[in-house]
Amino acid sequence: MRSVPILRAVLLSAQGLTRTYRLGTQMVTGISEASLSLDAGEFAVLAGPSGSGKTTLLNCLGLLDTPDSGTLVFEGRDVSGLSDKERARVRRERLGFVFQNSQLIPVLTAEENVSLALWIREYSDAESKSRAREALAAVGLGGMEDRKPDALSGGQRQRVAVARAIVGKPALILADEPTASLDSETSRKLLDLFDALHTKLGVTFLFSSHDPRMIERAARRIDLLDGKIVSDRIVREAA
């Protein structure tokens, strides 16, 4: 019997993204002519040294920043020319973000930080609460729902940030150096969590890192140097 190839749907396709920053009279390249396509279900890393353009590219792909030129198609829709309001809606409903420093709201509990993402989308209080508790349990923080960020460790705060990113069931999670402020053991556990969410829930991940131990965890490795994608390869079959 012939084996049937696994067909994956293209989730995102970027063509020729260029983003230049103006610094006084100087122009600084953030990314230059970056093109890539990401399928649903991928577990990919953006690797590259400091200043290579990882944050700039993630911000453009996540509609947090607007490139000077290039096109971006997300879930079959050209999102390059959307208004700020429409971009915010795509971010809120279809994307999840994890940043280096969790960016939790200090006066809110873990559960409130997570459910806020749903309140904004006008879910009822009860639905927001139950889904936030479910997401916190999925990241191993059951029982810590009522803690505020300053009563959590750095690793636990990142887990709350992951719960906040997954609670709205996004199509894609973008994580910019999510382990950069964690020690190596906590970093490893956070990547274990990404891996588990990817395998069990089928969440698509694109994260950035310059740590070889984190980079080797991804199934696909995209290397950036001086704002350009210099290599893009599958390093192991995704689960």
Interface pick for ligand ATP out of 4, 6, 23, 126 (rule CB under 6 A): 23
Vertex 78 angle, CA 75 and 80, to 5°:
125
Query: Measured from the CB atom, is 31 or 141 closer to ligand ATP?
Result: 31
- How far is Cα of residue 62 from the mean position of the Cα atoms in its chain? 8
- The one segment of 48-56, 89-97, 143-151, 217-225 that binds Mg ion by CB under 5 A: 48-56
Interface pick for Mg ion out of 30, 31, 55, 174 (rule CB under 5 A): 55
Cβ atoms of 177 and 113 within 8 Å: the answer is no
Question: CA of 221: how far to CAs of 10, 39, 46, 205, 231, in Å?
Answer: 17, 14, 6, 12, 8
Provide the edge-to-edge strand list for the sheet that holds 26-39.
Answer: 26-39, 10-23, 69-74, 77-78
Query: Measured from the CB atom, is 71 or 100 closer to ligand ATP?
Result: 100
Cβ atoms of 168 and 96 within 8 Å: the answer is yes
- For residue 56, state whether it binds ligand ATP (rule: CB under 6 A): yes
Query: Measured from the CB atom, is 6 or 23 closer to ligand ATP?
Result: 23
Q: Residue-wise over 224-234: b if at least 16 C-beta within 10 A, else e?
A: beebebeeeee
- Mark residues 123-162: x for contact with ligand ATP by CB under 6 A, - for none: ----------------------------------------
**Which of these, 195, 212, 225, lies nearest to 48 by C-alpha position?**
225
- For residue 55, state whether it binds ligand ATP (rule: CB under 6 A): yes
- Mark residues 180-219: x for contact with ligand ATP by CB under 6 A, - for none: ------------------------------x---------
Backbone dihedral angles phi then psi of residue 79, each to the nearest 5 degrees? -105, 5
Query: Measured from the CB atom, is 48 or 96 closer to ligand ATP?
Result: 48
Say which entry of ligand ATP, Mg ion, none residue 28 contacts (CB below 5 to 8 A, set by partner kind). ligand ATP
CB of 49 to Mg ion, least distance (A): 10
- Residue type (1 letter), 30: G
Residues forming the site for ligand ATP (CB under 6 A): 21, 23, 28, 30, 48, 50-56, 210
